[in-house]
Copies of this chain bind each other. A is one copy, B any other.
Amino acid sequence: MAVIPALREPVLAIHGGAGTIDPGSMTPAKERAYRDALVAALRSGQHVLSAGGSAVDAVIAAVVSLEDCPLFNAGRGAVFTSDGRNELDASIMDGATRAAGAVAGVTCIRNPIRAAHAVMTASRHVMLIGPGAEAFAAEKGLAKVEPAYFHTPERWAQLERARAEGRLELDHDGAAKSASATSDDKKFGTVGAVALDAHGNLAAATSTGGVTNKQWGRVGDSPIIGAGTWADNGTCAVSGTGLGEAFMRCCAAHEVASLMKYKGLPLDAAVTEVATITVPANHGTGGLIALDSAGNVSMRFSTTGMYRGVARGAGEPEVAIYGD
């Protein structure tokens, strides 16, 4: 008689970015919109998991939902570069196989996370960049969009504020020094998801529109396997959001896994150490969400808030914005 492994209760966690998010600058209507968007993304992933789908497909479903929502800095809501374009980055990793895929500097792909997934499954590569990545995505039949798709009025206003003040880029410190920067300017809107499926497999995905007014083809941690994204069934699935440079200098996502695997820390202790000690020591702020194969979830940040949420099994999604 074949041994059929017991199915587990699937778990999904997501984030929609961390930063200076304070209740004072949030209207009830706006907070409602964010909460609804987080719940919708969790339900998209939950739907996949409840039907016995894979963790990989669940994180894609959740991230696509966040990419399609103009509230978050990924996909549709991507911020503008200094020359008024949108450059998007994304990555995905399968904890069962450690297969991984990433794209960076793409401008016309509707859902960069789907392109990252195609790199993982339909190429022998891990990372494709720029026009080459777009040609690959077109060859695989992924949806293209015109630049106008990304032209949301809120993001254009952000670029104009940044340009007027000569801020070369928008990061937490720069924005904090700027009197006119709104709370929207003071957050990192990167989105991400981590999932555990009924078969015990983990996956992680991250997608971003970068930083407002960026120059020079800057790439942050979101498309970097080990910095912004990591998944390995033996330890955990991780997705980060924050000042990407700080996450890259400490290999933040892989550091969480290393602390678990070699130092023996439980998930939450590892995530807390990296989010609140290691990343700040590398001159940045932000947050991390992570999930281990026992279904434990940790969501820690060094900022005042992080859009986030968790859904277990068929249960009601729980979402949060500010600190505990």
Residues of A within 8 A of B (CB): 98-100, 104-105, 123-133, 135-136, 169, 171, 215-220, 224-227, 230, 244-245, 248-251, 254-255, 258-259, 261-263, 282
Q: A224-B224, A258-B262, A262-B258 given as contacts; is B216 within 8 A of A132 (CB)? A: yes
Q: A258-B258, A258-B262, A259-B262 given as contacts; is B225 within 8 A of A136 (CB)? A: no
Among B99, B132, B245, point to the contact of A125 (Cβ < 8 A): B245
Nearest chain B residue, comparing its CB with the CB of A265: B262
Query: B128 contacts A216, CB within 8 Å?
Result: yes
- Chain B neighbourhood of A215, CB < 8 A: 132, 135-136
Query: A135 contacts B216, CB within 8 Å?
Result: yes
Query: A129 contacts B100, CB within 8 Å?
Result: no
- Chain B neighbourhood of A230, CB < 8 A: 251
Query: B251 contacts A217, CB within 8 Å?
Result: no
Nearest chain B residue, comparing its CB with the CB of A247: B126
Closest beta carbon of chain B to A56's beta carbon, Å: 15
Q: Can you list 19 A-B pairs with a CB-CB distance of less than 8 A?
A: A98-B282, A99-B249, A104-B129, A124-B169, A125-B218, A125-B245, A126-B249, A128-B216, A129-B129, A130-B217, A132-B215, A136-B216, A136-B217, A226-B226, A226-B227, A226-B251, A254-B254, A259-B262, A262-B263
Query: B219 contacts A129, CB within 8 Å?
Result: yes
From A124, A136, A220, A226, name the one whose CB has the most chain B CB atoms within 10 angstroms: A226
Complex Cα spacing A5 to B215, Å: 41
Complex Cα spacing A249 to B169, Å: 30
- Chain B neighbourhood of A123, CB < 8 A: 216
- Chain B neighbourhood of A251, CB < 8 A: 225-226, 230, 251, 254
